[in-house]
């Protein structure tokens, strides 16, 4: 099992640790609810150094990205990023990812899910027919996500870069906490605002950045946050989690990701996915809110009032912000209307729920 540059710090702080995507990761420190509210109302720090980063360089780098991703990366200019996905040959999703334009038409960074690093690398490499220079820098790249409404206010104290005014899905590079060549982006996975901080872990950079972040933010209530709260935060905002809500069998259209699927260019399985768009699909990802007591969990089946199976839960939790049990589920199209009564099968009992609009909050 691999460690991140911050693993020893998590253990020293008493974090509950567990394997995640092959890494020893902090699941929680003081409890999910407390950590969740800390991010929603103030700011928290996530160690997400397990994520994968690829650098693509050369005159054909954009062409390669255009062919393997669903979104239109030609729209990106220096300092901008976009959310996208890698469709497979059948119209499913190899992975979802972020595309960063470091230098237009020349240098891009792709950020992929930790569990899919090798899979994604092999997939993109198999389409690299024009000699694009590719570098897997995942092992040497550290990543901290400082999330919450006060995150940028605290982090601005550590840099001359203007991160307070960074627009959503843009980034800048410079000196941060005395460390050079740090990339700070206004992206995140919580819907609470904040930044993600990418840097190469060399010459004690990880220790320095961690210490400086908590030096300025700690007295203001900034706390380290585990992956469990990251999951409840992202679910409240209906952000898909690869392996739960999207995978190799789910179409971007089914998953509500039509907004990152642009048919103005050619990409893998475009005809299949375009057919999903024009003709519709038999199921779609929907939000559900429990009416009766119970929590929907990944893999639970969903039935209608007649006892017919109409779908399956992909993610679910007790929402700390809402005080309600919520989830996402793929439901057959006749049952997608807001307010539709459905039943989640929990321990062989149908527990009443209703279809609701996403995001939940």
Q: Tell me: the pLDDT tens digits for 41-55?
A: 999 999 999 999 999
Taking CA atoms, 1 is separated from 18, 19, 230, 244, in Å, by 10, 7, 21, 22
Segment 180-194 mean pLDDT: 96
Pair 151, 189: CB distance under 8 Å: no
Nearest to 15 by CA among 223, 216, 222: 223
What's the pLDDT at 91? 98
Nearest to 43 by CA among 145, 144, 158, 146: 146
List, for residues 55-86, the tens digit of each pLDDT value.
Answer: 999 999 999 999 999 999 999 999 999 999 99
Pair 50, 264: CB distance under 8 Å: no
Pair 177, 159: CB distance under 8 Å: yes
Q: What's the domain count of the chain?
A: 3
Distance CA 301, CA 316 (A): 12
What's the pLDDT at 321? 98
| Three-class secondary structure of residue 35 per DSSP | helix
Q: Are residues 26 and 102 in the same domain?
A: no
Mean of the per-residue pLDDT values of the chain: 98
| Three-class secondary structure of residue 352 per DSSP | strand
List, for residues 307-321, the tens digit of each pLDDT value.
Answer: 999 999 999 999 999
Distance CA 189, CA 46 (A): 10
Q: Are residues 162 and 220 in the same domain?
A: yes
What's the pLDDT at 209? 98
What's the pLDDT at 244? 97
What's the pLDDT at 80? 98
Q: Could you tell me the pTM of the whole model?
A: 0.96
119 lies in some domain: yes
250 lies in some domain: no
What's the pLDDT at 37? 98
What's the pLDDT at 336? 98
Q: Are residues 40 and 27 in the same domain?
A: yes
Instruction: Tell me the pLDDT band of 300, cut-offs 50, 70 and 90.
Output: very high
Distance CA 188, CA 169 (A): 9
Of 81, 114, 136, which one is at a domain's C-terminal end? 136
202 lies in some domain: yes
Q: Are residues 201 and 334 in the same domain?
A: no
Place of tokens 């103030």: 42
Distance CA 32, CA 26 (A): 12
320 lies in some domain: yes
Nearest to 140 by CA among 202, 213, 195: 202
Sorted by sequence, the CB contacts under 8 Å of residue 5 that are 6+ apart come out as: 49, 142, 201, 206, 207
258 lies in some domain: no
Give the domain extent around 103: 52-136
Instruction: Tell me the pLDDT band of 337, cut-offs 50, 70 and 90.
Output: very high
- Please state, for a pLDDT cut of 90, what percent of the chain lies above it: 99
Distance CA 250, CA 128 (A): 24
Taking CA atoms, 6 is separated from 23, 24, 38, in Å, by 11, 10, 20
Instruction: Tell me the pLDDT band of 338, cut-offs 50, 70 and 90.
Output: very high
Segment 336-348 mean pLDDT: 97
Segment 131-150 mean pLDDT: 98
Q: What is the CATH number of the domain that holds 15?
A: 3.30.1360.120
List, for residues 238-272, the tens digit of each pLDDT value.
Answer: 999 999 999 999 999 999 999 999 999 999 999 99
Q: Are residues 147 and 294 in the same domain?
A: no
């Amino acid at each position: 099992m691999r460690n991140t540059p911050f693993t020893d710090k998590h253990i020293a702080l008493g974090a509950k640790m567990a394997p995640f995507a092959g890494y020893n990761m902090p699941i929680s420190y003081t409890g999910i609810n407390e950590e969740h509210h800390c991010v929603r109302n103030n700011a928290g720090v996530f160690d997400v150094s397990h994520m994968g980063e690829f650098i693509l360089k050369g005159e054909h780098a954009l062409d390669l990205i255009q062919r393997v991703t669903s979104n239109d990366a030609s729209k990106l200019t220096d300092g901008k990023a976009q959310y996208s996905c890698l469709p497979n040959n059948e119209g499913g999703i190899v992975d979802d990812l972020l595309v960063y334009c470091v230098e237009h038409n020349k240098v891009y960074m792709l950020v992929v899910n930790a569990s899919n690093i090798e899979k994604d690398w092999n997939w993109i490499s198999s389409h690299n027919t024009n000699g694009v220079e590719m570098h897997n820098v995942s092992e040497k790249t550290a990543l901290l996500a400082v999330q919450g409404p006060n995150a940028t206010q605290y982090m601005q104290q550590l840099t001359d870069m203007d991160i307070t005014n960074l627009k959503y899905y843009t980034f800048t590079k410079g000196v941060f906490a005395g460390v050079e060549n740090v990339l700070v982006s206004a992206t995140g996975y919580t819907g609470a605002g904040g930044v993600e901080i990418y840097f190469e872990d060399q010459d004690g950079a990880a220790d320095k950045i961690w210490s400086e972040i908590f030096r300025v933010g700690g007295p203001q209530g900034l706390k380290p946050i585990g992956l469990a709260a990251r999951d409840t935060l992202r679910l409240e905002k209906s952000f898909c989690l690869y392996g739960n809500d999207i995978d190799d069998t789910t179409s971007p259209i089914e998953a509500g990701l039509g907004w990152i699927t642009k048919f103005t260019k050619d990409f893998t399985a475009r005809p299949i996915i375009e057919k999903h768009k024009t003709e519709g699909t038999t199921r779609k990802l929907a939000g559900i809110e429990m009416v009766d007591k119970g929590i929907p969990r990944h893999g639970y089946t969903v039935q209608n009032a007649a006892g017919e199976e109409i779908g399956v839960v992909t993610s679910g939790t007790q929402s700390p912000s809402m005080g309600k049990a919520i989830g996402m589920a793929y439901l057959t199209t006749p049952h997608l209307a807001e307010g539709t009564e459905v039943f989640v099968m929990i321990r062989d009992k149908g527990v009443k729920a209703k279809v609701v609009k996403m995001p939940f909050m």
